[in-house]
Chain A
């Protein structure tokens, strides 16, 4: 099925550990995004990639790095995890201009990350 695939679905890290969240889309979208959602809150944009080879900071980029590996894949890395990074992480993709024509974003199912 076409869509956005995130791995892993669940992860527990110890403070200071590193890990990479993977995201892949098969809809040939140019733009990809990483959001985090804290309990009872809206999604906050961490980083986004408008097209292959470009990445830009969102609202809350500190403590994260990203790589747009190719058109399909956009990974999010935590170099030294902190308890404040405990959250649900969503990857999404879109055609950039289509946000103005109502096509919206396609979201992955999320990664639930706990840092202890």
Chain B
């Protein structure tokens, strides 16, 4: 079974500072994608950013960017200029091309302090 590891169960960050959420994954599939989702306390799943395994450059989406290190099987999410509304649970979720499955890590709870 594919294994996804998010080593930080809980994180704190001061408002307006940057924070990095870690994610490592296990795959032998050469073709895959990496998604990050945000889940606020209201419960909905919100898509944040995507990185394809063949993409040459790290993905960016507004205040979100990915530090993608393919050889290390690592895809860390960087949130710049944190806002109070960023307080939520964040999930790393690889999509495996050979199975068509999206598998989730256990998540990191981020709290932004004013």
Residues of A whose CB lies within 8 Å of any CB of B are 31, 33, 35, 40-45, 48, 50, 58-59, 88, 90, 92, 94, 96-97, 99-102, 104-105, 107, 109-110
* Chain A contact surface mostly: mixed
> Would you list 27 pairs from A and B whose C-beta atoms are within 8 A, ordered by A residue?
A31-B100, A41-B106, A42-B4, A42-B104, A42-B105, A42-B107, A43-B91, A43-B93, A43-B104, A45-B101, A45-B102, A48-B101, A59-B1, A59-B103, A88-B43, A92-B45, A97-B100, A99-B33, A99-B97, A99-B102, A100-B31, A100-B97, A105-B45, A105-B47, A109-B43, A109-B44, A110-B44
Is the beta-carbon distance between A42 and B106 smaller than 8 angstroms? yes
How far does the alpha carbon of A44 sit from the alpha carbon of B44 in the complex, in Å?
15
Q: Please indicate the chain A residues that have their CB under 8 angstroms from the CB of B106 in the complex.
A: 41-42
Count of chain B residues near A, Cβ 8 A: 25
With A33-B102, A109-B43 given, can you name 17 additional A-B contacts, CB distance below 8 Å?
A40-B107, A41-B107, A42-B104, A43-B93, A44-B104, A45-B102, A92-B45, A97-B100, A99-B35, A99-B97, A100-B95, A102-B33, A102-B52, A104-B50, A105-B102, A107-B45, A109-B44
Residues of B within 8 A of A (CB): 1, 4, 31-33, 35, 43-45, 47, 50, 52, 91, 93, 95, 97, 100-107, 109
- Count of chain A to chain B residue pairs whose CB atoms are closer than 8 Å in the complex: 66
Residue from the list A50, A94, A110 in contact with B43, Cβ < 8 A: A110
In the assembled complex, the CB of A38 is this many whole angstroms from the nearest CB of chain B, namely 10
**CA–CA, A41 and B107, complex, Å:** 7
Collect the chain A residues with CB atoms within 8 Å of residue B97's CB: 99-100
Cβ contact within 8 Å between A100 and B52: yes
